[in-house]
Structure 1
Amino acid sequence: MSAWHDPDCTVVDAFLEKSQFRPGSRPTYRWFLRSFEDVARRHPAVDRQMLDVWLKEMEKRWRMPTLLNQVCIVDRFLEHLVEIGLIAENPVAVLRRQYNAKQNKPIWRALASPNPDEALAALRRPAPYGSVLGDFMREHVALMRSRGYQYETQAHWLLRFDRFLQANPELAGASLETMLARWATAKPTRNHAAECQKLGRILTKARYRLDPRIPPKRFNARPEREVAREHRRPHIFSPADVRRLLDVARSYPSPDAPLRPMVLYTMVVLAYCAGLRRSELAGLDLGDVDLQSDTITIRETKFYKTRILPLTGSVMAELRAYIDARRRAGAPQDPRSGLFWHEHFNDRYTPVTVSTMITNVMRRAGFKPPTGRAGPRVHDLRHSMVVNRILQWYRSGVNPQDKLRFLSTYMGHRDINSTLVYITVTQDLLHEASERFRTVGVRCLTMEARP
């Protein structure tokens, strides 16, 4: 007997209506989900066995790459079934928890493979903080976050070290120094060596907090200095470069998502003119834009800061044009909905998607090669905003030193030292600084030289 209680066959249509997919996509999605529903009706439960049967039937009609691209619709449908109580739990989510997988797509790929059990077993990841030092590291991360630190990068380092310890159980009785030494030999790269030094400082300080009799160990700073020397220099976009990016964004080819060129254009405008990070672009809500006071509110971003940024009239004009186009495209008008709205999934863009789309604009504009990581990054627009702002101050006769604290607040930095990192010395900046010294500093030196 089937556990699928939908005698009127309305669940699929209700899901498609709720999701607000584009009309052109609905027939394909409806057929796809109806095939899933037909298999579910023939099984006592929506479980892994039912998913295996459905995938085998679909393999006869669809090529595997195309099928795996469409299963995201089934993922959302399964979550909808859980919400309305038609099924107790999502079988894909159960497999994710069982094998400690981060995403659903690898689970689907494993289920569609010739040997699903082996493919799923290969996905299994060690449980977070499951090593002999797991509780110690988990408590340290919780302590630092309770003190107001985000502690994301450090937590990733600790989790990698934890997985290494789980893969090497013979180190369970060794000292912390021995564990770190073995971890340092796991990879020969300079980045790994620098990470090991940072991790060692974190763990020895955490140990000192618990046992003050063991002082923190001094570590060699050379690996970190070598990595810092290899750090990629930011690319500073000139105003002409930014205009080139905006032209490419406005003409970005997107026949299936007509709003996307306006989305990209407005993202580049805010990334450069307001110096927003990619996560801040993705996190903007419609209600964060105040068209009366010409400001935007950036909420709870890095360092847990919320700030209100005034914008120029030209930037606000572009925002008004985008919001109007967004409304005409049928986007939700709830103030809590994402400002940058994705037509396909009726949701906001993620930070990774924001980065990918702006990077594609840079490639089309000729600033990056067609593939690879070489060339400017999205974050370089934020660097460019700082450098070009200081150039404008110099050219206007304003002393940048008097304005840096305001710029630091505008950028959302914790202190002025964080802002100084963004001041990349360019030839134009050197020239303007030399001119200011010639007109102001030389006169001071001449006065001191007089008897």
Structure 2
Amino acid sequence: MRFLAEQHRYLSIRRRLGADLSTDERILRRFTAFADKDGAEYVDTRLIMRWLESLPAASAGTRGARFRVARQFALWLHGMDPRHEVPPQGLVPAHVQRVHPHIYSDAEILAIVEQARTLPSVYGMRGLTCSTLFGLIAVTGLRINEALRLDQSDLDIETGVLRVRFGKLGKERMLPLDLTVVQQLERYGRERDRLLGRRSEAMFITCRGHRLGDCGARYNFALVCQQIGLRPRQDYQRHGRGPRIHDLRHSFAVRTMLNWYRSGQDVGREMIKLTTWLGHESPANTYWYLEAVPELLELASTRITSAAEGSNEGD
């Protein structure tokens, strides 16, 4: 279990430096488990490539991310012992292409939340937590890890403001919630603490009282989608392919923009609000939805054409 111990040390150091390791940790756990099972004494290029080949087929972006995580770990190990080998950078190219989002209909979102309530567990905590989590992401557009890292104290019930402390790149933001959302979170909190038998600091928890993790949230979401027909059913607890939990965030952004276009609002002026709400670095990241969703692109094109025609008439 040599590499497992080194993994814990490596991740601990990076956490203290403020890194967000939610994805990297999941990838690195798989690599160190493979290395220990393989009986390897040192990390080298051949070990990393054998590990990559042992994994299920994935996109170039995913393969590139796996390679990057393993290479960074090898680089750290090499700094302590030069017998570890660092693979050449770019050995596994990562042609990252943004996944075309699935935009959920209102009926699909309702079905996801309702089905999540039926997830079995001893005290009913699993269904309670997952249905509330999926519903919150759908109505706020939070990233999954932003939602999972929420504490009860991040919700100000009096003002209806949710504090997102762990946004991308460490940025914090405040989200004013609709009263119905606040009331739902308040009810969830009371029932969660009643089932747990004590007050929990974390907002979203498991039946054992631990903070719900990224893997657990994604697995339960995939299972719910399989049960309602949005993903094909799988054996051996596999997730399968299909709409993702992150697509709830995409759906929130797209519905917001569609409502602006349909109601005749100035989308350019409103866009900065959505950029801030979503925690994007710049409006360019938010405008990507115009290209990703045909209806939005058509509405934007129509708006631009109408504005141009109006300008020509004025000339």
* TM-score, normalised via structure 2 length: 0.71
**Counterpart for residue 85 of structure 1:** none
Match of 2:204 among 340, 359, 363: 340
> Conserved in 2, the CA contact under 8 Å of 1:145 and 1:151?
no
CA distance in 2, matches of 1:253, 1:142: 37
2:130 to 260, 264, 268: 264
What is the aligned-residue identity percentage? 24
Contact 1:249 1:264 in 2 (8 A): yes
Q: How far apart are 1:393 and its partner, in Å?
A: 1.2
Instruction: Describe the shift of the 1:253–1:186 C-alpha distance in structure 2 as closer, same or farther (beyond 3 A).
Output: closer
Distance 1:300 1:362 in 2: 27
Q: Which amino acid aligns with 1:282?
A: L
Residue in 2 that maps onto 1:38? none
2:176 aligned partner, one-letter code: P
Are 1:238 and 2:109 matched, yes or no? no
**Matched length:** 290
Which among 177, 181, 185 is matched to residue 311 of structure 1? Answer: 177
SS in 1 for 2:94: helix
Task: Give the one of 84, 87, 94 matched to 1:224.
Answer: 94
Does residue 286 (structure 1) correspond to residue 149 (structure 2)? The answer is no
Q: Which ranges in structure 2 are unaligned for 5 or more consecutive residues?
A: 77-87
Is it true that 1:324 corresponds to 2:190 in the alignment? yes
Deviation of the 1:425 alpha carbon = 2.7
Correspondence for 1:361 among 224, 240, 246: 224
1:351 to 210, 214, 220: 214
Alignment of 1:34-433 (within 5 A): 99-100=1-2, 125=3, 128=6, 146=17, 150=20, 167=40, 191=60, 194=64, 223-225=93-95, 228-229=96-97, 232-250=99-117, 252-254=118-120, 256-333=122-199, 337-342=201-206, 344-371=207-234, 372-421=239-288, 425-433=292-300
Preserved CA contact (<8 Å) 2:155 2:162: yes
CA displacement at 1:271 relative to structure 2:
0.9
Q: Distance in 1 between matches of 2:218 and 2:51?
A: 31
Distance in 2 between the 1:168 and 1:302 partners? 36
CA-atom RMSD in angstroms: 4.4
Q: Which residue does 2:304 correspond to in 1?
A: 437
- Give the drift of 1:399: 2.4
Query: Residues 340, 286 of structure 1: CA spacing in aligned structure 2 closer, same or farther, 3 A cutoff?
Result: same
- Secondary structure in structure 2 of the residue aligned to 1:309: strand
Deviation string 1:30-54 (CA, Å, 9 cap, x unpaired) is: xxxxxxxxxxxxxxxxxxxxxxxxx
Per chain length, whose mean CA-contact separation is higher, i.e. which structure has more relative contact order (CA < 8 Å, sep 6+)? 2
Deviations 1:247-293 (A, max 9, x none): 3234x153622344332321122111111222222222222221110
Task: Assess, with a 3 A threshold, how the Cα gap between structure 1 residues 348 and 395 changes in structure 2: closer, same or farther.
Answer: same
Q: Give the C-alpha shift of residue 337 in structure 1.
A: 1.5
2:292 match: secondary structure = coil
Contact 2:275–2:282 (Cα < 8 Å) also in 1: yes
Aligned to 1:55: none
Give the Cα separation in 2 of the matches to 1:443 and 1:184. Answer: 59
CA offsets, 1:402-436, max 9 Å, x none? 22222222222333344345556323313322332
Question: Contact between 1:269 and 1:315, CA under 8 Å: does it hold in 2?
Answer: no
| Structure 1: runs of 5+ lacking an equivalent | 1-98, 101-124, 130-137, 172-178, 207-217
Q: 8 Å contact 2:290–2:300 — kept in the other structure?
A: no
Residues 1:144 and 1:405: Cα distance change in structure 2 (over 3 Å): farther
Q: 1:167 to 1:280 in 2, by over 3 A?
A: same
